[in-house]
Structure 1
């Protein structure tokens, strides 16, 4: 009796629904969990065929299903049962997993059906399907977007390649134009310079100040044009990659003294270029032509942007670690707002006024310095002057 009471208690308190039927499919018992699932009272279902708890087609297939179990004699549990649709009293349907076991009781066969509600599982599966479909849609959308982006990139690459090709052609055309134009200008400039020198010589006996004045203006203008042409030719070589440094050993002091003497002839009235060298060493290994262009450009700027009756400092120093070259003046200086652009091509500070120049000189100096593995820096204050420092390693 105690065992029977225990069994009844287990069935009544089971989480899953349990229904027992006879060999004809009529319900003999139903536990509370099954009543809750189907929304029936026990007296409403006991004695009825269990198929009334199933909608078509499970209702029509039930007898065949039961007969199959009777014929095979196999016991079925929830884990290996089949999924069935249940029909509640209010007409709504729900999915459950049915496991059937054959039980011998009082000399006859009864069948116990174990009903496991899988509504939440099905809902989760549906949500999972929806997520999967949504994810697939997102993947398709992203794939299409990616394909569109790839196509745009391919088109952009083609456009860029075409633009680069055109730019290359324009670069070659520009280089040829600059080279041809510069050489074509050099010929008449050389003739003008020679003619001016002859006029100056032939005019000496007359000692006419007006002739001397205008000859000087012509020579100065020719010098400016020559300087502009040199800048453009230098830039063209740099842009086309034709400018390569050639390193040689030479005496920096003698080299600098020659430049000082040359540039002193171009200085304004009572402008004096003061050269000094520091250190016992004077030998250096650099490209003389590139270095000369750098120094002349810096000294020429100092002459242009300083007034008469001023001093221009030019120093060199060689120590164990580096070679340091400086050019300083006490001229108009460089405004703070312009200093970050100073080494850009074609840039000129806003306070240069009518002082002639192409804005290429310092760009060329910086690039020549870089070609020789050096660095260039400067300090400047408006109306106080400017100091340029070029440094080369001694390795």
Structure 2
């Protein structure tokens, strides 16, 4: 190249912050700027007329010639190494990562290639550090996700009657990938549970305390009716608290797998008598429980306490969600393999939109939110019956009433 043009190139090259290398078609260096000298560790003018390979690690020499010829054939501007990582070799032998943009041009009929070179060592180092941090974080997330998956799986209740929307939700929960989000959900569930327990215990305890204080004021003989009224309130509240405690104990046993079912043969009428006797203490004014017909000869080989718990829960719900002066009917039938127990009420019923979730733990129908309850009774019944090979189903219409049907195997295996 002419001296004048070379001087012009040098002025232009020095104005560029990137390293600039100009090579001819023979891959010999004809010009560089000071940024290249500093980048590769050479003195000024030391690289001129040297082959381009001096700036390329020896391990890449074999393939570089073919890449250069291919580029010269097409002669289009492009980012060199697209899809490949490029490396440069310093004078002292150090190898470092770089990026290079290639620009072909002609002067006096001779073709040259100008390469803009950037040292990306710092960026690569930062990327490696970020990758290491991401790997560490991903490992922590996987570990936390595994822990949370174990906890969440214990909280899940398999419900074959849920529609496709609920199935998708359960499947999504089974594929937990976001540990932080799941931890937040668990904390919210814990808060909700503690709030529910606090409310459900505080209300009846306040009623017991109030009735106890009032009892002390009714000392005259003619005030016996008022004393009886408050004694009845105390009895009902204690019975209610006892049922809540039994529900919580059942949940704990179901979650930890500590249930020990004891199977023996018993008369079903014995269980029905006990449940109805206890339920009579909860009846509202004018409510009546109609005793099932023709059950004296019905026997089961099952866990008696579980059957009693399930029937008691259904009957208590029927009383709680039915108005005064209504009947609650119990129907029992038995065939060769199963016993069917139905509890029918004329209460508030379950809204259609809520019916798909009625067996979910802590779920309460919209029209029952102002009535005392924990939302775990039906979930417990369903879980116990499933363990015993049975099922529970229902039919309900809001404002008309509900009928719950338990299907129990006559003889547990």
TM-score scaled to structure 1, two decimals?
A: 0.52
Q: Hey, what's the Cα distance between the residues in 1 that align with 2:270 and 2:224? A: 38
Summarize deviations over 1:14-48 as a string: whole Å, max 9, x none: xxxxxxxxxxxxxxxxxxxxxxxxxxxxxxxxxxx
For the Cα contact (< 8 Å) 2:394–2:405, is it kept in 1?
A: yes
Summarize deviations over 1:96-154 as a string: whole Å, max 9, x none: xxxxxxxxxxxxxxxxxxxxxxxxxxx9xxxxxxxxx99999xxxxxx9xx99998764
Change (3 A) 1:164 1:316: same
Partner of 1:325: 341
1:380 to 391, 396, 400: 396
Per the alignment, in what secondary structure is the counterpart of residue 309 of structure 1? coil
Partner of 2:274: 258
Q: Hey, what's the Cα distance between the residues in 2 that align with 1:225 and 1:279? A: 31
Q: Which runs of 5+ in 1 are unaligned?
A: 1-122, 124-132, 138-143
Q: Hey, what's the Cα distance between the residues in 1 that align with 2:237 and 2:151? A: 37
Q: How far is the alpha carbon of 1:279 from its aligned partner?
A: 7.2
Moved more, 283-292 or 214-223: 214-223
2:317 to 295, 301, 310: 301
For the Cα contact (< 8 Å) 1:278–1:318, is it kept in 2?
A: no
Change (3 A) 1:262 1:206: same
1:369 to 366, 377, 385: 385
For the Cα contact (< 8 Å) 1:244–1:371, is it kept in 2?
A: no
Summarize deviations over 1:243-290 as a string: whole Å, max 9, x none: 232211111123213322332232122211112245785111111111
Change (3 A) 1:150 1:282: farther
For the Cα contact (< 8 Å) 2:267–2:296, is it kept in 1?
A: no
In terms of Rg, which structure is larger? 1
Per the alignment, in what secondary structure is the counterpart of residue 254 of structure 2? helix
Change (3 A) 1:163 1:389: closer
Q: How far is the alpha carbon of 1:301 from its aligned partner?
A: 0.5
Alignment pair present for 1:159 and 2:137: no
Per the alignment, in what secondary structure is the counterpart of residue 237 of structure 2? helix
Question: Cα RMSD (Å) of the superposition?
Answer: 4.9
Per the alignment, in what secondary structure is the counterpart of residue 292 of structure 2? strand
What is the total number of aligned residue pairs between the two structures?
256
Alignment pair present for 1:246 and 2:262: yes
Alignment pair present for 1:268 and 2:284: yes
Alignment pair present for 1:291 and 2:342: no
TM-score scaled to structure 2, two decimals?
A: 0.50
Partner of 2:227: 211
